[in-house]
Structure 1
Amino acid sequence: MAETTTIRISRDTHARVTRLAAERHETIDELVSSALRALRQDGMGRDLSEDLTEDETAWLDADAG
């Protein structure tokens, strides 16, 4: 495992993370990494679903040649 550190979370959250990691046959580190990636992807999806700005539309409609 890479270098580690400690983060403070409530006992309830720790129990939930531990239980979910066990259900998925993952370490807590693997579970948290997966969760962070999913959150990042969710944010990208929300960004991509927004309407384009006028500048973005003009750039996409510009003649490339």
Structure 2
Amino acid sequence: MADTTTIRVSRDTHARVTRLAAERHESIDETVRSALRVLRQEAMGRDLAEELAEDETQWLDADAG
């Protein structure tokens, strides 16, 4: 880990992340990175589950030929 910084979290959050990292046999950085990835994936899933706008539906239904 070449470049680092510090973030403030509650002692409870720190303990929970530390415990989870230990259970997963990885560093806190790896655990936090994994959690961030899951949050991004959940956001993408919500976006993909939304109804399409009318212009998006027209674009998808357009004749490509």
- What's the TM-score, normalizing by structure 1? 0.97
Q: How many residues align?
A: 65
Identity over aligned residues, as a percent? 82
> TM-score of the superposition, structure 2-length normalised?
0.97
Write out the 4+ residue segments of structure 1 that deviate beyond 3 Å after TM superposition: none
Letter paired with 2:34? S
What's the offset of the Cα at 1:54?
Answer: 0.3
Structure 1: runs of 5 or more not aligned: none
**Unmatched segments (≥5 aa) in structure 2:** none
Q: CA RMSD in A?
A: 0.5
Quote the offset at 1:2 in angstroms: 2.6
Counterpart position of 1:19: 19
